[in-house]
Amino acid sequence: MKKPNLAIVGATGLVGSTFLEVLEELDFPFDNLYLMASAKSAGKVIHFKGKDYVVEELNEHSFDKDIDIALFSAGGDTSKKYAPIAAAHGVTVVDNSSAWRMDPEVPLVVPEVNPQDIAWNKGIIANPNCSTIQAMVPLKPLHDKYKIKRVVYTTFQAVSGSGLKGIEDLKQGLEGNDRCVAYPHPIAGNCLPHIDVFTENGYTKEEMKMVNETKKILGDDSIQVTATTVRVPVFSCHSESINLEFEKPYELEDVKEILSKAPGLHLVDDPENNEYPLARDVAGKNDVYVGRVRRDFSAENALNIWVVADNIRKGAATNTVQIAQLLLNEEK
What 3-state class would DSSP assign to 143? helix
CB 163 within 8 A of CB 235: no
DSSP state of 315: I
Query: Cα–Cα–Cα angle for 250, 239, 70, nearest 5°?
Result: 105
pLDDT band at 1 (very low <50, low <70, confident <90, very high): low
pLDDT band at 329 (very low <50, low <70, confident <90, very high): confident
Q: Model-level pTM greater than 0.85?
A: yes
pLDDT band at 2 (very low <50, low <70, confident <90, very high): confident
pLDDT digits (tens, 9 = 90+) for 28-59: 999 999 999 999 999 999 999 999 999 999 99
Report the pLDDT averaged over residues 307-314.
Answer: 98
Report the pLDDT averaged over residues 98-112.
Answer: 97
pLDDT digits (tens, 9 = 90+) for 159-174: 999 999 999 999 999 9
Q: How far apart are CA 126 and CA 116, in angstroms?
A: 14
pLDDT digits (tens, 9 = 90+) for 193-235: 999 999 999 999 999 999 999 999 999 999 999 999 999 999 9
Share of the chain above pLDDT 90, in %: 98
Q: How far apart are CA 9 and CA 34, in angstroms?
A: 8
Q: List the domains of the chain with CATH numbers.
A: 6-127+316-331 (3.40.50.720), 131-311 (3.30.360.10)
**What is the average pLDDT score of the chain?**
97
pLDDT band at 192 (very low <50, low <70, confident <90, very high): very high
User: Mind telling me the catalytic residues?
Assistant: 130, 238
Residues ≥6 apart with Cβ < 8 Å to 98: 76, 129, 205, 209
pLDDT of residue 331: 65
